[in-house]
């Protein structure tokens, strides 16, 4: 079996470093917001091209707290793509604002700047671009829009750890960026975790307070409504051990994507966008008979996944945010198929996957 994603392989590969990191926490004396969280925040801020990093409990919380810290709340509308994971929209609702769905670009599969401008109305307060599958959204165009209309921008970097656009780190374009360390992510822990990065010291201070009951630094008095949303000390220790390996993992993902491109050229499979700074969180192709191909690949021992169907504008919890038809999103939701991508495996699984796809397409023809 070739699984679609294989976090256990990463854990097994770096097991000694992980065991040592966990042991250090267990032999220490602080279990919440201790040395490991501090050290990880410093290291991750540097890796993400940011001044400040605030570790929180999940990627969803990272988005919600970043929006709150930017004073987005009830009465505000936040623009986001519908082609993303549900957590992006949940976070907007958690801070009391309304998610409004915008069409994606058919090539990048990320929020379309022209459609974004069209969707801006009197209540629009923020944009949450998602760097879907590790490919950059058009940040220069979106930041220009945000400046023109005085909107906050929180980049959803849950799938883009280590990615760049024109040599600049994704996550350093917006006012803040949110990361998830869910186990399957390019930098994934052994449980839930997330972080906000920002260059703004005031925002960083508000975020540190929001994640910790609304306390001011060094005090135990709630100055505002806050949460218990802290990155766990053990997860931080594990992530700190894995962070130095993020770059090599991303290189392996790029190499894998390049192999798939060559192997699937001249087929009917639609290939993902190319981008120098993409980190291929997923290698998601488009195919016409997705369910048929999925079943045939499964029978051949090849795992695949669907990200994401249906688009969020069709989820019962979010339908109020569906203002316009989203035909590109709907077409992608019907045809995207994520192939196995495993930076830990270097033994040419792409050849087996591509051969099986070619065989399936031949049989179906
Ligand atoms: C694009 C995107 N946004 C937000 C999230 C939410 O992150 P988490 O699962 O850590 O809450 C995820 C991950 O699952 C994601 O892929």
Cβ neighbours of residue 337 closer than 8 Å, sequence gap 6 or more: 284, 285, 286, 287, 290, 293, 294, 304, 305, 306
- Would you identify the CATH topology of the domain 246-364? 3.90.1150
CB 45 within 8 A of CB 195: no
Mutate to test the pocket of ligand 1, among 83, 180, 191, 284 (most ligand atoms within 8 A of CB): 180
For tokens 């959204």, the residue is 137
Instruction: Determine the atom of ligand 1 nearest the C-alpha atom of 58.
Output: 10
- Return the pLDDT at 363: 81
Q: How many residues does the chain have?
A: 365
Q: From CA 96, how far away is CA 102, in angstroms rounded? A: 19
Give residue 180 CA to ligand 1 midpoint distance, Å: 6
- Return the pLDDT at 344: 86
- Return the pLDDT at 62: 98
- Return the pLDDT at 346: 74
Give residue 139 CA to ligand 1 midpoint distance, Å: 19
Mutate to test the pocket of ligand 1, among 158, 187, 195, 338 (most ligand atoms within 8 A of CB): 158
Instruction: Determine the atom of ligand 1 nearest the C-alpha atom of 84.
Output: 1
Ligand 1, residues at Cβ distance < 6 Å: 58-60, 84-85, 87-88, 130, 156, 158-159, 180, 182, 192, 194
Q: Could you state, in order of their start, the residue ranges of all structural domains in the chain?
A: 7-102+109-244, 246-364
Give residue 195 CA to ligand 1 midpoint distance, Å: 11
- pLDDT (tens, 9 = 90+) of the chain, 365 residues, equals 899 998 999 999 999 999 999 999 999 999 999 999 999 999 999 999 999 999 999 999 999 999 999 999 999 999 999 999 999 999 999 999 999 999 999 999 999 999 999 999 999 999 999 999 999 999 999 999 999 999 999 999 999 999 999 999 999 999 999 999 999 999 999 999 999 999 999 999 999 999 999 999 889 999 999 999 999 999 999 999 999 999 999 999 999 999 999 999 999 999 999 999 999 999 999 999 999 999 999 999 999 999 999 999 999 999 999 999 999 999 999 999 999 998 988 778 999 999 999 999 888 77
Instruction: Determine the atom of ligand 1 nearest the C-alpha atom of 182.
Output: 10
Half-sphere exposure for 232 (CA within 13 Å, toward CB): 14
Domains 7-102+109-244 and 246-364 share a fold: no
Mutate to test the pocket of ligand 1, among 66, 87, 130, 282 (most ligand atoms within 8 A of CB): 87
- Return the pLDDT at 362: 85
Q: Please provide the CATH number assigned to the domain covering 7-102+109-244.
A: 3.40.640.10
Instruction: Determine the atom of ligand 1 nearest the C-alpha atom of 192.
Output: 10
């Amino acid at each position: 079996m070739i699984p679609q994603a294989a976090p256990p392989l990463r854990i097994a590969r770096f097991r000694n470093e992980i065991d040592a990191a966990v042991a250090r926490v267990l032999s220490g004396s602080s279990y919440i917001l201790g040395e490991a969280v501090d050290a990880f925040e410093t290291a991750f801020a540097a890796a993400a091209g940011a001044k400040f990093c605030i570790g929180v409990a999940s990627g969803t919380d990272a988005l919600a707290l970043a929006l709150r810290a930017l004073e987005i709340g009830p009465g505000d509308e936040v623009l986001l793509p519908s082609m993303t994971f549900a957590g992006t929209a949940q976070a907007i609702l958690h801070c009391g604002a309304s998610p409004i769905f915008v069409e994606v670009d058919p090539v990048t599969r990320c929020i379309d700047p022209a459609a974004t401008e069209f969707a801006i109305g009197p209540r629009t307060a923020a944009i949450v671009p998602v760097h879907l599958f590790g490919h950059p959204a058009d940040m220069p165009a979106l930041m220009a829009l945000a400046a023109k209309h005085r909107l906050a921008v929180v980049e959803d970097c849950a799938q883009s750890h280590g990615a760049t656009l024109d040599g600049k780190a994704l996550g350093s374009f917006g006012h803040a960026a949110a990361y998830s360390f869910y186990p399957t992510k390019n930098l994934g822990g052994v449980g839930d975790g997330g972080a906000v990065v920002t260059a703004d010291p005031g925002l960083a201070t508000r975020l540190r307070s929001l994640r910790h009951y609304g306390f001011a630094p060094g005090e135990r008095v709630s100055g505002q409504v806050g949460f218990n949303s802290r990155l766990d000390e053990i997860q931080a220790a594990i992530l700190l051990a894995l962070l130095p390996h993020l770059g090599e993992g991303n290189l392996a993902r790029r190499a894998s994507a390049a192999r798939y491109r060559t192997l699937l050229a001249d087929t009917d499979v639609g290939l993902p966008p190319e981008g120098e700074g993409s980190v291929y969180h997923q290698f998601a192709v488009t195919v016409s008979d997705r369910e048929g191909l999925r079943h045939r690949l499964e029978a051949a021992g090849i795992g695949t996944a669907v990200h994401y169907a249906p688009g969020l504008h069709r989820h019962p919890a979010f339908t109020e945010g569906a203002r316009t038809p989203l035909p590109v999103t709907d077409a992608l939701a019907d045809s995207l198929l994520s192939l196995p991508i495993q930076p830990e495996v270097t033994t040419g699984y792409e050849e087996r996957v591509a051969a099986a796809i070619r065989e399936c397409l031949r049989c179906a023809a």
